[in-house]
């Protein structure tokens, strides 16, 4: 039953995207530009509901690199107080800017 509901939602969204793309390009007189604009607008509207997931995937992959692992010697820090200095900030631009805070920990 859930599969049928999902297919109905996808079909309705597909129909809405086609209708909106036709509606938005009705005033364009050049037939070639009208067709290209309609298909480009259709593609953008079709992926709009999941665009944040696509962008978030790129952002998350940029943050999950080996340099972001926390590595420590458990025997060295057991029973001791660990302190930190103020973090250094680095800005990385993938699709949206990411601010990377790097902390140095001391025993």
Check if the beta carbon of residue 45 is closer than 8 Å to that of residue 21. yes
Q: Where are the domains of the chain?
A: 2-106
Looking up tokens 């800017």 gives 97
Paired tokens of 3 = 């599969």
Half-sphere exposure of 53 (CA within 13 A, CB side): 4
Alpha-carbon Rg for the chain, nearest whole angstrom, is 25
Q: What is the pLDDT along the chain (107 residues), one digit of tens a residue?
A: 888 999 999 999 999 999 999 999 988 889 999 999 999 999 999 998 888 888 788 777 777 777 766 777 778 778 877 777 777 777 776 667 777 777 777 76
SS3 105: strand
CA separation, residue 15 to residues 9, 66, 87 (Å): 10, 44, 50
């Amino acid at each position: 039953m859930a599969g049928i509901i999902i297919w109905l939602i996808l079909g309705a969204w597909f129909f809405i995207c086609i209708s909106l793309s036709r509606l938005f390009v009705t005033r364009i007189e050049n037939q070639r530009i009208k067709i290209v604009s309609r298909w480009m607008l259709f593609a953008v509207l079709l992926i709009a509901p999941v665009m944040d997931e696509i962008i978030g995937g790129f952002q998350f992959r940029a943050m999950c690199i080996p340099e972001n692992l926390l590595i420590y010697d458990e025997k060295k820090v057991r029973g001791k107080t660990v302190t930190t200095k103020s973090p250094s900030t680095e800005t990385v631009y993938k699709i949206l800017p990411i601010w990377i805070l790097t902390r140095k920990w001391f025993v």
